[in-house]
Amino acid sequence: MDFTVNTYINLLDALRQAGYTFLTFKEYMRIKSGIKEFGNRKSESKIHNRQDKVRSTEQDNRNQQHGERNKQHGDRNRTSSNMDPNHGIREKENKSAIPGKGFSDINQNNKRKAVRDTNLLPPPQKFALLPHDVNALPEKFVILRHDVDELPENSLRFAQIQAEMGITGSFYFRIVPKSYNEAIIREIAKMGHEIGYHYENMDFCHGNLNSAYKDFCNNLEKIRTVVPVETICMHGSPRSGHDNRELWQKYNYRSLGITGEPYFDIDFNSVAYFTDTGRRWNGQKYSIRDKVKSNWHFDFRTTKQIIDNINQLPHSIMFTFHPQRWTNNKALWMKELVFQNTKNIVKRFLYFFFL
């Protein structure tokens, strides 16, 4: 089946194997803009490495001291056991009372049960972070973008998967209850991922530019009280007659400390664009606004087709995912399939008759 969590993992792994470096949109904009602050990550990395070595040495010393104490304790126990004829009997009885092994087994069972119940993650895998020159774009790179339209728990799952693979992505949250979750936003940010604002103010303010800008500023400040925000990305709002990007016909997001908006700041003739809008990778005809002008044209419908042709892809790509569409739960998967197919029909109608 396509659009499962396992398929998502397979796609990321295929991109890794093909030599792609994963970037957040913030990283892409910083490298592209030549911002010095981002270059300082090299020195920061050296500092962190030195700190890790210090912590490792301290831990080794503690382990050595702990081992010496255990040895002394063992010597005292052996001396005591030689004087106590019942020591062997008590030791046999105490082994069955030691909670360590049983507690560990219970923990493992609970972890496996949590995975089954929530479809969170497959068995953990640890990968090394792919290195890249922070002062230049890698030869082959993928900007990982995630639009959190709803079900933020799915985005948390995606963030966990990426963290375990040693990669980072960008997650754009709407300011609506079915998307905005401060606890999840903090958790994703703690893993090193970028958090951005998925704005839709022209829609909410019925096309009033001044009201939309004020609403945008208020919402941006709200998110920034939780985590730093440097980039934004418009929400398509397919049922709205207003394009949220129209806000920037009058105002300038850079004056608010925003470094980038993909639809304005990426040259999609140089960076290929793949989006799962319409629950397919060739869903341009079902997309009202999530589309770009580009010299790149592909007709991959399924994720497997992308994986099978991974070596024929351009070297510079932005992938946009809507995590609410991706699940291993068969009932939720079928629900999303039916809902999205119905939605595609409505969007086609809106496109031909109203836009």
* C-alpha span between 20 and 142 (Å, rounded): 6
Per the rule left: phi > 0, alpha: psi between -120 and 50, beta: everything else, 31 is alpha
Q: What are phi and psi of 26, to 5 degrees?
A: -60, -45
The reported pTM is: 0.71
Structure tokens at 70: 């255990």
Quick one: pLDDT at residue 67?
Answer: 57
Give CATH 3.20.20.370 domain extents, the chain.
5-34+139-354
Q: Which of 250, 261, 329, 353 is nearest to 1 (CA)?
A: 329
Residue 334 — pLDDT band, cuts 50, 70, 90? confident
Quick one: pLDDT at residue 162?
Answer: 98
pLDDT tens for each residue of 7-61: 999 999 999 999 999 999 999 999 998 864 444 444 334 333 433 443 454 455 5
Q: What average pLDDT does the segment 329-347 reach?
A: 69
Q: Mean pLDDT check: name the lowest of 108-112, 255-259, 312-316.
A: 108-112
Q: What CATH number labels 5-34+139-354? A: 3.20.20.370
Residue 124 — pLDDT band, cuts 50, 70, 90? very low
pLDDT tens for each residue of 141-155: 999 999 999 999 999
> To the nearest whole number, what is the mean pLDDT of the chain?
77
Q: Which of 350, 204, 205 is nearest to 288 (CA)?
A: 350
| In contact, 49 and 169? CB cutoff 8 Å | no
* C-alpha span between 231 and 336 (Å, rounded): 29
pLDDT at 251 over 50: yes
